Amino acid sequence: MTGDSAIAEILLPLALEGPYSYRVPPGMALEPGRYVVVPLGPRQMIGVVWALKARASTEKTLREVAGVFDMAPMPETHRRFVDWLSAYYLEPAGNVLRMVLRCPGAFEGPREQIAYRATESVPKRMTPQRSRVLEIAREGFAMRAAELAEAAGVGTSVVKALARDGALEAVALPALRPFPVPDLNAGGFTLSADQKVAAEALRAMVAERQHRVMLLDGVTGSGKTEVYFEAMAAALAGGGQVLLLLPEIALTQPFLARVENRFGCEPAQWHSDLRPRERERVWRGVADGSARIVVGARSALFLPWKRLKLIVVDEEHEGAYKQDDGVPYHARDMAVLYGSIGKFPVVLSSATPSLETLVNVDRGRYGVVRLKDRHGRPELPEIGLIDMKRAALEPGTWISEPLYAEVRKTLEEGDQALLFLNRRGYAPLTLCRACGHRLECPNCAASLVEHRFRRQLMCHHCGHLAPMPQACPHCHAEGKMVPVGPGVERLAEEAAQRFPDARIAILSSDLSRGTLLRDALREVEEGQYNLVIGTQLVAKGHHFPHLTLVGVVDADVALETSDPRGGERTWALMAQVAGRAGRGAKPGRALVQTYLPEHPLMQALKRAERDSYLNQEKAIRENAGLPPYGRLAALIVSGADSGETERFARNLGLIAPVAEGVTVLGPAPAPIALLRGRHRWRFLVKARREVNVQAFLRLWLKDVHPKGSLALQVDVDPYNFL
């Protein structure tokens, strides 16, 4: 459409109700999906043409589209995906679009292939903004003005000014490396009989070119990865792009090397640690269709896919697929939604599938293929229980005698052992022995966690840091502060005492820079350490060939929460962490310390009876009307003032609609009633499965407009109950 008779509806990456109307200037050719620049107030913004319509003569004067980018338009499927996701989660479409456009480099013109890097010289004038820019530039990677500005949270003028001052120098960017074409027969194993059957089923599904969902179910190490590679090969052979989603932490070099080995070239990667230039390369490659294989974390779903023909969601049960801040979405569910819009299949792979997925299989909505054998390896490790009620531990110690004896034996035999404890830091709690005062975060209703390596107390909710006080802040007694309970650092201290010759590694997300963690994982894999102490991030998808013993220090943590998925999560975590043992030549063994050895979950773990456990869990959920038998949505009201927040929440409760099959629970103070200085109240909407929860929520919230510091967050299908 051209000419001055057209109006373009432009979606902007802002929390607006819908697209804004702009006039298409004469001579500008636009079509839906084109990326454009439009004026908004005093600013210029990048947006996407959502629709075009003829101009009505009564139309008030509109501003003009300022420019159009010379790049492939966003395909219709992707635009529909944005709209659907927005409707499902009751989130403005512009907020979803913002996730798609999160790649400033992709929108810089060809003339701006100039980047900046730090020089030795110090600018004449220093401001906090300038020093943020320099700090990032000194990491050594040349970045474009827009990227550097975004990373530092400042305007591009700050970058330009630093360049004029000589503190930054301009360099030309090399051209973006083109993506190699995958070689579908580059490598891979001769598949086992089981694998062949499974691979054939997946290939047949891909060949149908329709939307279907298939669960690939098999214990850790049964060879699922090799099987879904075959599905990927089939989709690539048809000319499509494929997306392999992994929990961020599983995106490791050894895994990427496997993909490379199978397809003869390095896949494109997408995760939060990517350098801006590489982000741009992948974003553009996905948009123009030249990036054929992308291995990515959940946000890779939002890349502007040109010809997406298959999504594989590995570790589909993983909680990390749920995003809680910003737009709260579940990447596994949205992968299935995308498949239904784009009419392509989706493979969900897991050793411990989620109950949601298993029930979809029961209902016949998803297909399933199973792998029985642990390929060429011993069966899943035997799991033994240690009854901690009888362990009679010394105070301040956590390793029971039976676990100690097994670890020692393992180390003596030259093998690797893992002690698993899902708590970062040194101690989760610090108390004053004189008055009982407990150190709490000033911004959150939560204890401060001691991190002894960093010599700091830290809030795991808001990141608040404080030094360890010498005297109790309450009663001022000196030297009375004591740690209570274990974190991995404290467990490592005990382990170092009891296994003085062990080479100990601590793996937790405190190795915050992705590269540090990746190095540490590689060193463990190579066997440079023989005793690994780790949080749940070691449980996930890593392959430690020398590991033969896993000790779970406290298996009861998640069981004791009010989270309806606590049991399911514990099961998955135990199976995953136990599955780390015995992946090499020798068989593995797992020992689980628990105060609840007679709990049905522990008994089922010991007997390796997954199905009987899951059946019990299904019955519990069905009776309680919980997902996947019923639906949940959470509303969180928060505000700076405690009284005002409570009043708002109570008033909101009074206007909740009454609807058949819907129960509104609350308002009640949220489990974390103060978070980042905000008071929090919570509603839980429980609905029967056939109820349209979104319609209910829309009706309820249609005239609700929180003002001032008040905010209302809607979380459809919540996973975290904080």
Please report, as ranges, the residues that interact with Zn ion according to CB under 5 A: 441, 443-444, 459, 461-462, 464
- For residue 441, the minimal CB distance to Zn ion (Å) is 3
Q: Minimal distance in Å, beta carbon 247 to ligand ADP?
A: 13
Tell me whether residue 189 or residue 453 sits nearer to ligand ADP (CB atom).
189
- What is the b/e burial string over 124-151, where b = at least 16 CB atoms within 10 angstroms of the residue's CB? eeeeebbebbbebbeeeebbbbbbbbbb
User: Among residues 217 and 280, whose Cβ is nearest to ligand ADP?
Assistant: 217
Our CB check for Zn ion shows the closer of 443 and 720 to be 443
Q: What are phi and psi of 694, to 5 degrees?
A: -60, -40
Instruction: Identify which of residues 227 and 491 has a Cβ nearer to ligand ADP in the complex.
Output: 227
Whose Cβ is closer to ligand ADP: residue 580's or residue 679's?
580
Q: Select the binding partner of residue 375 from Zn ion, ligand ADP, none (C-beta < 5 to 8 A, by kind).
A: ligand ADP
Instruction: Burial-class residue 36 by CB neighbours within 10 Å (0-12, 13-18, 19+).
Output: buried
Cβ closest to ligand ADP, residue 196 vs residue 433: 196
Picked from ligand ADP, Zn ion, none, the partner binding residue 189 (CB below 5 to 8 A depending on kind) is: ligand ADP
Q: How far is CA 582 from the centre of its chain?
A: 28
Q: In the bound complex, what is the minimum distance in angstroms from residue 353's beta carbon to ligand ADP?
A: 12
Q: Which does 376 bind (CB under 5 to 8 A by kind): ligand ADP, Zn ion, none?
A: ligand ADP
Token pair 């068989």 is found at 587
Q: Comparing C-alpha atoms, which of 299, 355, 304, 308 is closest to residue 330?
A: 299
CA angle in degrees (0–180, nearest 5) for 189-190-191:
100
Pair 527, 416: CB distance under 8 Å? yes
CB 109 within 8 A of CB 68: no
Residue type (1 letter), 320: A
| CA distances for 31 relative to 35, 102, 543, angstroms | 10, 22, 48
Residue 684, amino acid:
L
Is 349 or 638 the residue whose CB approaches ligand ADP more closely? 349
284-295 burial by CB neighbour count: b if 16+ within 10 A, else e? Answer: bbbbebbbbbbb
Please say which residue, 312 or 601, places its beta carbon nearer to ligand ADP: 312
User: Could you report how far apart the first and last alpha carbons of the chain are, in Å?
Assistant: 50
Q: Please state the closest distance from residue 191 (CB atom) to ligand ADP, in A.
A: 5
User: 605 vs 215, 591, 665, 669, CA distance in Å?
Assistant: 22, 11, 34, 35
Q: Pick from ligand ADP, Zn ion, none: which does 317 bind, CB < 5 to 8 A by kind?
A: none
Rounded Cα distance, 398 and 390, in Å: 13
Which CB sits closer to ligand ADP, 299 or 576? Answer: 576
User: By the 8 A CB rule, do 413 and 622 touch?
Assistant: no
Query: HEC string of 26-83?
Result: CCCCCCCCCEEEEEECCEEEEEEEEEEEECCCCCCCCCECCEECCCCCCCHHHHHHHH
Partner whose footprint covers residue 226, from ligand ADP, Zn ion, none (CB < 5 to 8 Å by kind) = ligand ADP
Closer by beta carbon to ligand ADP, 221 or else 428: 221
Which of Zn ion, ligand ADP, none does residue 223 bind to, with CB < 5 to 8 Å depending on kind? ligand ADP
Residue number, 279 or 332, with CB nearest to ligand ADP? 332
Least distance CB 581 / ligand ADP (angstroms): 13
Phi then psi dihedrals of residue 587, to 5 deg: -70, 155
Give the nearest distance from C-beta 584 to ligand ADP in angstroms: 9
Q: Which residues contact 650 (CB under 8 A, 6 or more apart)?
A: 667
- Taking the complex as a whole, the smallest distance from the CB of residue 529 to ligand ADP amounts, in Å, to 20
Relative to beta strand 35-40, strand 43-54 is: antiparallel
Nearer to ligand ADP (CB atom), residue 585 or residue 640: 585
Residue 324 Cβ vs ligand ADP, minimum distance, rounded to whole Å: 27
Query: How far apart are CB 252 and ligand ADP at their closest, in Å?
Result: 12
Q: Which of Zn ion, ligand ADP, none lies near 192, with the C-beta cut-off 5 to 8 A by kind?
A: ligand ADP
* Nearest residue (CB) to Zn ion, 397 versus 443: 443
Helix axes 600-607, 566-578, angle to 10 degrees: 30
Q: Interface with ligand ADP by CB under 6 A: which residues?
A: 189-192, 195, 218, 220-226, 375-376
Residue 645 binds which entry of Zn ion, ligand ADP, none, with Cβ cut-offs from 5 to 8 Å by kind? none
Inter-residue contact 184 to 263 (CB < 8 Å): yes
Reduced to 3 DSSP states, what percent helix, strand and coil does the chain have, rounded to the nearest 5? 35, 25, 40
Q: Where are the beta strands (DSSP E) in 267-357?
A: 268-270, 293-296, 308-314, 346-350
- Residue 427's beta-bridge partner residues? 450
Nearer to Zn ion by Cβ, of 21 and 720: the residue is 720
CB of 371 to ligand ADP, least distance (A): 7
For the bound state, the minimum distance from the C-beta of residue 316 to ligand ADP, rounded and expressed in Å, comes to 12
Indicate which of Zn ion, ligand ADP, none lies near residue 225 (CB less than 5 to 8 Å, by partner kind).
ligand ADP
459 binds, among ligand ADP, Zn ion, none (CB under 5 to 8 A by kind): Zn ion
Cβ atoms of 574 and 365 closer than 8 Å: no
Least spacing, CB of residue 123 vs ligand ADP, in Å = 51
Q: Which is nearer to Zn ion, 273 or 440 (CB)?
A: 440
Residues in the chain: 722
Q: Write the DSSP assignment of 198-239 as a string of letters.
A: HHHHHHHHHHHTS--EEEEEE-TTSSHHHHHHHHHHHHHHTT
CA 110/CA 33 separation, integer angstroms: 21
Nearer Cβ to ligand ADP, position 24 or 550?
550
- To ligand ADP, the closest distance from the beta carbon of 264 in angstroms equals 17
Residue pair 183/265 in contact (Cβ under 8 Å)? The answer is yes
d(CA 384, CA 91): 46
By a kind-dependent CB cut-off of 5 to 8 A, residue 24 interacts, out of ligand ADP, Zn ion, none, with none
Shortest Cβ distance from residue 31 to ligand ADP (Å)?
43
443 binds, among Zn ion, ligand ADP, none (CB under 5 to 8 A by kind): Zn ion
**What is the DSSP secondary structure assignment for residue 147, as one 8-state letter?**
H
Least distance CB 223 / ligand ADP (angstroms): 4
Smallest separation, CB 233 to ligand ADP (Å): 14
Q: Which does 461 bind (CB under 5 to 8 A by kind): ligand ADP, Zn ion, none?
A: Zn ion
